[in-house]
A and B are shown apart, each in its own frame.
Chain A
């Protein structure tokens, strides 16, 4: 099949999957919409869909109609930061065919380590967040050695191992917080305040957009995307990771060190998740108060699948997910539709993206067309 047709197929397939998910969502919104008559319900559904689809970056007012809202766009960018990191983390690990689900625990541990560095390790302003982020990345890498080495040495399923590890991380952090680290003067379980020097400064903090704040974490995330893309497509290690993911037997036969590369992919995945947690914590919070897994790791898995494990596509997928999540929040606020709907929409999209044979008949048609053209061309050449 020609490249153009391949691209067209990918785009159409993605759009159809999203469309089906939205259709399913519409039906569910209609069912849960308030209203006594059919028309009332229909109107409520329309209102909810408007919030879901346009709400994230537009504001509705009675007299001015639709108006672009920069603050909301900035909010979406801010929400993209942690999920870009987890998305990249999952991309790297999935590329090596390592279904490590530890990004979730990784981001929590990263946030926790960053908080500890921010509270207990006084350093000058510029260096403090940098050291914190490097340390939390490294810490999560070290923890990821557990599933990675168990996989490489004993062929233990990294999926089960990392999944369980998430909860171990969460409960250990909760235990440490409850027993030793909580600020006893507060009414809830939270840490002491971070040192001022540890903050990741804001890039945009204009009083014009009240409350809207975008830290330097955002360009950092984009730099991470670039580095990750270079690593995966332009370095020998990324190349080995991808080849192992495509055909491990081939990689072994070619003389690549499969065990080492499997471990490496999970170390890097761990580092990315950890760094993402640190950047999120130091950019948005002043104390550590997470008492459950934040969910960014799970979203990271959806993003990696949407992006087809291609780091360069991660920002796009992250934007989509952040947009959708914001839309669901708005829908819950203004149209009283449960915000959990986002999980269903995610689930449906996920299903169709992961389904190998979805639209395969359409693909076959394109393939046949390409083959026929090529044959015709070959025939014409012969006659010349």
Chain B
């Protein structure tokens, strides 16, 4: 039930009224959304991916300008034209993807853009370190001022981000999915810190779609669906089920029905893969595993522990320093992608906008990119347009891509529909091995469910699937068996995922525990 209590205007630190935002690609991300914040509360902003949470907060932080509507901060109607204006009014943002310079130290990152100086021209490092320590102690956020950002764990990077905002005088902190990259231990730690901040009178916006966390830490919540506000509630007044219904408009079946896997012979064999990156960091350290016909092998792990590099090697975007990888006995390392695809390897790439699609081309042109030179689609030197149209229409239909026509620019579609186009192409090329790298990142629940179902369907028909996902729920639910990567090594192998818990996984993901070589060796089915 909506919060009916009327409060005096001065108790609100932020009031966003009737905010509408239409992007230049025509997508309406927010429609007449009302959003307000009381001083000293932790306020959850909830909604599916694509519901417009990030857009709304980007407008509060001055990264985007609303098409219409007003923003009132501390009783003053403002035009937040840039983040520096927002910061000047005490609004800070901790982004999901950290905005830090990896090669600089924590203290140097802290003072970026406001560097303390010595005799007018030198950076006063000692002062930067002192400042970092002072804030670190005051807010109970422990960081190592002199460590380089690239060497510190994700949890500490996040603390640096929070401190960065506080040093700049933020009283209102926007946290964009802060727990998405954290293990459950780190999350618990973060919550203690946030409560501490709240006690000191700071206001926090907590963007998330993890229900447990919302229930645990927030005072009130605003729910967005399809760009509209579904109301403001006191967290203690609503149940998880109600929130979930408000978020998606129906009861979500989050569990994917899948029968037991009947693995066949190994399709992908990886042995002793090693790779040292340009900054001399060992990203892959003697990685060995097999993926068998008809099984989904999941790779869990905090991002940046070698998963990306592993996929890059397997799809030949990069070559390892040592080791081998074969698909059905044929070596795949360093092959051109043409050959990789000819061998029946498909990739749902991590970043669909970077290499999954050509945003300026049509849906049709995107969906045939791997098969355009096939005989079926050509007649002499020219395309067989009829066959191409048929193929595009068929895939749009089968994969339920919501669009006006096959000739619509793919960049105009929503994230979920773009991903469906990528998946339609990758799944329909009769692959023997699918590499699915974050297949449902940043897309709506409907599309997520659809893609997961298709993935399970394909694996049950005998395709080998390697699934990499930062979403712990996803890997644990979809995978038949699972490996955990930490620091470029395989930290654990679980043959059966049914009795795994977040906590067990967390310990391996953080490197607190490590299985023995024999236990891990079982993932090679020699």
Contact = CB atoms under 8 A, between A and B. Distances in A.
Contacts of A256: 337-338, 369
B212 interface: no
A167 interface: no
A257 interface: yes
A253 B337 contact: yes
B334 to A, nearest CB: 14
B358 interface: yes
Nearest to A370: B26
A256 B372 CA distance: 9
Contact of A363 (B24, B355, B378): B24
Nearest to B227: A375
A367 interface: yes
B358 A240 contact: no
Interface string B323-347: 0000000000000111011100001
Interface in B373-390: 373, 377-378, 381-383, 385
A252 B373 contact: no
Nearest to B31: A375
Contacts of A340: none
Contacts of A374: 26
A371 B20 CA distance: 12
Mostly, the A contact residues are helix
Interface residues of B, number: 38
Contacts of B28: 371-372, 375
Interface stretch (A145-153, A168-176, A186-194, A230-238): A230-238
A364 B383 CA distance: 36
Interface bin, chain A: 20 to 34
Contacts of A375: 28, 31
Given A230-B382, A236-B372, A252 B22 contact: no
B35 to A, nearest CB: 20
B349 interface: yes
B385 A253 contact: no
Interface stretch (A36-44, A242-250, A264-272, A289-297): A242-250
Given A371-B26, A371-B27, A250 B338 contact: no
B25 interface: yes
Nearest to B351: A249
A65 interface: no
A156 interface: no
Given A255-B370, A256-B338, A371-B28, A249 B383 contact: no
B359 A246 contact: yes
Nearest to A242: B361
A236 B377 CA distance: 9
A239 B374 CA distance: 13
Contacts, number: 89
A255 B338 contact: yes
A256 B383 CA distance: 16
A8 to B, nearest CB: 15
B65 to A, nearest CB: 11
B365 interface: yes
Interface string B347-362: 1010000111111110
B206 interface: no
B354 A249 contact: yes
Contacts of B337: 252-256
A212 interface: no
Contacts of B385: 234
A224 to B, nearest CB: 16
A368 interface: yes
A239 B361 CA distance: 10
A251 interface: yes
B67 interface: yes
A243 B358 contact: yes
A11 interface: no
B372 A246 contact: no
A1 interface: yes
Contacts of A247: 355, 357-360
Sorted from nearest, which 5 A-B pairs have the closest CB atoms?
A254-B369, A249-B355, A246-B358, A255-B341, A247-B358
10 contacts: A235-B382, A236-B383, A239-B365, A249-B355, A253-B315, A253-B317, A254-B370, A255-B338, A255-B370, A367-B26
Given A239-B372, A367-B25, 10 more contacts: A247-B357, A250-B358, A251-B358, A253-B317, A255-B338, A255-B341, A256-B338, A367-B23, A374-B26, A375-B31
